Amino acid sequence: MTTYTLQQLLPANIFTLLLVFARVGSAVGLLPGVGDAYVSPRIRLMVAGGLTLLIAPLIAPAMPAEPKDILGLFVLLFGEIFVGLFLGLIARVLFTALETGGAIIAMQTNLSSALVFNPGAEAQETLPAGFYGALAVVLIFVTGTYGMLLRAIVDSYNVFPPGTLPPFDDMSVAMVRAASRSFIIAMELAAPYLIVTTLFYAMLGLIARIMPQLQVFYVGIPAQIMAGLFMLVLTLPVSILWFLNTWQAAMNSLTTPIP
């Protein structure tokens, strides 16, 4: 019986495509937009395959030597898949700041009971959160921000060289910082509503003290909803563009090597 080595069964060009596809495909499966639940798995595979064909010639010189056995190949694939999942999850965690901020805005404007179905997460969420998320996905593609995400995947080969052990401790710290940063971004998005709502409830308290016979909540809740919708119209363009710039800066800093 004739035996073949792994180098004979797996040519160098196929080996490079396999490693690149492992990282790119894992990241694309979690990125906002293409990685959402309403996107067909076939579309994700086509996007990941097309990006692999484009990226592989650029990354080929940095690829490690072909392993001598199947176990070594599995170890390399595990490292590439882990890095790809890490990049996609970081982008997804930072993107959830919109949903968190939208939920806070909904509570401050009495719109928390207005639920809509979010096809990306396959779950119900508040109206401001769903609107912010859908608008951000559209603007990511319209403004070319998605190209920055793909560039971040390419730049990740400078920070996480293939064939080396991923820095699990640094990755865990980066994930914790991304989660905390996501919450801070959500609070900054909802800050105008928190300030106005606090002043509004203080005003209702004063009116209730001056006119105890007046049912202030019957008058105040419709006014609060109208004021919230008016603020949403005023702050939406600025807040969504600010979020995209902040999100882009966070992704760029993640894949920029420290000198």
Task: Summarize pLDDT for 6-31 with one digit per residue, the tens.
Answer: 555 456 577 788 888 888 888 888 88
**Is residue 57, in this structure, part of any structural domain at all?**
yes
Range of the domain at 229: 9-254
Specify the pTM: 0.79
Give the count of domains, the chain.
1
**Is residue 3, in this structure, part of any structural domain at all?**
no
**Is residue 1, in this structure, part of any structural domain at all?**
no
**CB neighbours of residue 98 within 10 Å:** 28
Joined tokens for residue 117: 């179905």
Task: Summarize pLDDT for 162-212 with one digit per residue, the tens.
Answer: 878 888 888 888 888 888 888 888 888 888 888 888 888 888 778 777 877
Per-residue pLDDT of the chain (259 residues; tens, 9 = 90+): 445 455 554 565 777 888 888 888 888 888 887 877 777 888 888 888 888 888 888 887 777 777 777 787 788 888 888 988 888 888 888 888 888 888 888 888 877 776 777 766 666 777 788 888 888 888 888 877 777 777 888 888 888 888 788 888 888 888 888 888 888 888 888 888 888 888 888 887 787 778 777 777 777 777 878 888 888 888 888 888 888 888 877 777 665 544 4
Can you tell me the distance from the alpha carbon of 87 to that of 91, in angstroms, rounded to the nearest whole number? 6
Sign of CA dihedral 49, 50, 54, 57: positive
Beta bridge partners of 123: 118
Can you tell me the distance from the alpha carbon of 60 to that of 198, in angstroms, rounded to the nearest whole number? 57
**Is residue 259, in this structure, part of any structural domain at all?**
no
Residue 100 has φ and ψ, to the nearest 5°, of -65, -45
Q: Indicate the DSSP class of residue 79.
A: H
**Is residue 147, in this structure, part of any structural domain at all?**
yes
Can you tell me the distance from the alpha carbon of 150 to that of 156, in angstroms, rounded to the nearest whole number? 10
**Is residue 29, in this structure, part of any structural domain at all?**
yes
Can you tell me the distance from the alpha carbon of 52 to that of 44, in angstroms, rounded to the nearest whole number? 12
**Is residue 84, in this structure, part of any structural domain at all?**
yes
pLDDT for res 2: 47
**Is residue 2, in this structure, part of any structural domain at all?**
no
